[in-house]
Amino acid sequence: MPTEWTVRAITRAMLPVLLVLTLVELGSGLVLGSFEAQLFRYPSLLVLVPVTIGTAGNLGSVLAARLSTSFHLGTLSFSPRDDELAGNAVATVALAVTVFPVIGAGAWVATLLVSGDTSLALRMVVLVALSSGISLAVLAVVVTFSATYVAYRFGLDPDDVVIPVVTNVCDVLGVVVLFGVAQVLV
């Protein structure tokens, strides 16, 4: 796909996407505000918020970059039987399984060192982080595949639109999923 590298073309492609994503981020803030009492009650969860949403966005961004490269190389297939697609999805979830327990433990230790507050046990914080992380990795895979496919169908360069979409949507999903998991487990 030929890409037009002009300010006008980039603005035409990106401005609507960025405006919609701004509204999506406002929704994330509203959800986070409704979660405020629980965050103050359990400071470890408060520490988890930025790390969880950032890591979910990073996992989605890495996957988006891989799909974008495959797209530009002409090797991307949206077939459910595509081993490369499935391998990338499995790798994304496997990364979440390995990194989110470390994030949970790190959040608990950081909270202990800064405030001395261990109102949630280490295993509970790790469980919340791991459960949220796995859920977010699966959602990041779905969002990334969907955004890449939509970009492909509309003739947009995935390099321009997929990563902003994935990171913003993962921000919102990160808050929602972390809140939901905390409501169920804590």
Residue 37: per-residue pLDDT: 81
| Rounded distance between C-alpha atoms, residue 147 and residue 159, angstroms | 11
- Name every residue whose Cβ is closer than 8 Å to that of residue 124 and which is 6 or more positions away in sequence: 185, 186
| Rounded distance between C-alpha atoms, residue 108 and residue 79, angstroms | 41
pTM of the model: 0.82
Residue 3: per-residue pLDDT: 58
Helix (H, G, I), strand (E, B) or coil at 172: helix
| Rounded distance between C-alpha atoms, residue 168 and residue 21, angstroms | 6
| Rounded distance between C-alpha atoms, residue 138 and residue 125, angstroms | 20
Residue 1: per-residue pLDDT: 47
Q: Which regions in the chain score pLDDT beneath 50?
A: 1
Residue 4: per-residue pLDDT: 64
Residue 18: per-residue pLDDT: 78
Burial of 90 per CB tally in 10 Å (0-12, 13-18, 19+): exposed
Exposed e or buried b per residue across 45-57, where buried means at least 16 C-beta atoms within 10 angstroms of its C-beta = bbbbbebbbebbb
